[in-house]
Structures are given as C-alpha cells and as structure tokens.
C-alpha cells in the first residue's frame, strides 16, 4: 500500500518521529490503533481503508501518528491497567475517560498544525471516517445480531453522538497558527486521574455483631 507508506513518511518527518511498522488485520478490529512501546506498529483494517478517500485516509493516519508523537500509547496502557486494578472504583472509569478525551483532542490539534489542511477539511474528514466506520460495524453486527435487552444501548448511542459533535466543533475552532503545546492541562489531567484512583466508596453492612465493609 504505497499511498499509506507515503503519508507516513511525509508526516513522521514533519513531527520528527520514527516511522512505525504497519500491520493489516482482517479481523473485526476496524478502528485503527497503535501498539508497542519502543517500536510502534500502526494497525489498520483494509475493510475501512477501502471505504475512505485519499484525504480521509491521510487524516486518519496522521491522527494515529500524532498519538505516537505524544506517547499516548504508553500512557494509555498505564491508565488502562490502573483503571482495571481499581475496577471497583467508579471514579477510575471517569478519570480514564477524561484522559482518553484529552488524548484525542490534543492529537487533533497536532494534526491540524502539521497536516497543512484547514480545520474545516480535517473536521470533515474525521466525521466522514467515523460515519463510514460505524457503517462497517453496523453491517457486521447485522450479520451477527446481538439481542438488545436494555435501552442503555440507545443511551450510549446518544452520548457518542454528543461526543462526536463536540469533537468536530472543537476542531472547527482551531487556528493552525496559534496551536502550541499546553503542558499544564496535561499535568492537571493526569494528576486528577491519580487522585481519583485514591478515592474509595465504602459501604458498611452490619449483621448482628458482624461488620462487612464493601469498597
């Protein structure tokens, strides 16, 4: 796939990182992602790549490479492990979500700064990519339907739509000439994550003379 290699070579030189390996998967992992710590690999789905036009493909790859520039793959794994170790703590899930949101927003900013595309074009490409990704996933689910036992699925769908709207709105507000690295929000976000992990919700149940503590 020479067009993908070309995008990677050009963008990695701009943001000054080492080009990652590329792995194509035909499994049901349609969303692109980065694996690895010292040597990173960009995992792509040919099913998704075939649906995207050249501009959308370029934006999608540049966004994933921006995550490598920020070391989000390493930070994301650490945050995921801490979240799972504190599975009983609801604040761990809230703080983990905030970290992932910060990573997506910051990577969008980095991409707008170095991609030489307008904020409007980047927002359009991201929105189209998300719509096409959802279409692929929905078609896959329709072939292997999962019973819907709860209305929570609809609630999650509405929440996801709101997240996408906010993301597109934030991109449209970006001015490439005024984007700079903001270390303070990042430090604040991760400090909040660590502090929320320490917050424990404790329930005390008393049966006769026996006290049972649930956290």
The pLDDT tens digits of the residues spanning 32-74 come to 999 888 889 999 999 999 999 999 999 999 999 999 998 888 8
Average pLDDT over residues 115-124: 90
What does the pLDDT read at residue 189? 66
pLDDT value at residue 170: 86
Q: Beta-carbon neighbour count of residue 77 at 10 Å? A: 12
Selection from 73, 170, 71 nearest residue 112 by Cα:
170
pLDDT tens by residue, 64-118: 999 999 888 888 888 888 888 878 777 788 888 888 888 888 899 999 999 888 9
Q: How confident is the model at residue 200 (pLDDT cuts 50, 70, 90)?
A: low
Give the separation between CA 213 and CA 204, rounded to whole angstroms. Answer: 5
């Amino acid at each position: 796939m020479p067009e993908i290699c070309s995008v990677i070579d050009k963008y990695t030189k701009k943001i000054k990182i080492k080009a990652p390996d590329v792995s194509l998967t035909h499994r049901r992992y349609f969303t692109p992602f980065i694996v690895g710590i010292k040597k990173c690999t960009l995992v792509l789905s040919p099913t998704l790549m075939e649906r995207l036009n050249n501009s959308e493909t370029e934006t999608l790859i540049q966004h994933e490479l921006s995550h490598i520039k920020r070391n989000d793959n390493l930070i994301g794994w650490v945050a995921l492990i801490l979240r799972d170790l504190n599975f009983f703590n609801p604040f761990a899930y809230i703080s983990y979500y905030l970290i992932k949101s910060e990573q997506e927003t910051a990577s969008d900013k980095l991409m707008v700064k170095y991609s030489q595309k307008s904020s409007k074009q980047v927002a359009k490409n991201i929105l189209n990519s998300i719509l096409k990704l959802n279409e692929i996933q929905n078609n896959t689910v329709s072939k292997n339907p999962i019973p819907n036992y709860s209305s929570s699925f609809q609630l999650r769908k509405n929440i996801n739509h709101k997240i996408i709207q906010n993301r597109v709105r934030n991109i449209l507000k970006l001015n490439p000439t005024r984007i700079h690295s903001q270390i303070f929000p990042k430090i604040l976000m991760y400090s909040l994550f660590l502090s929320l992990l320490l917050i424990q919700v404790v329930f005390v149940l008393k049966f006769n003379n026996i006290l049972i503590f649930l956290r």
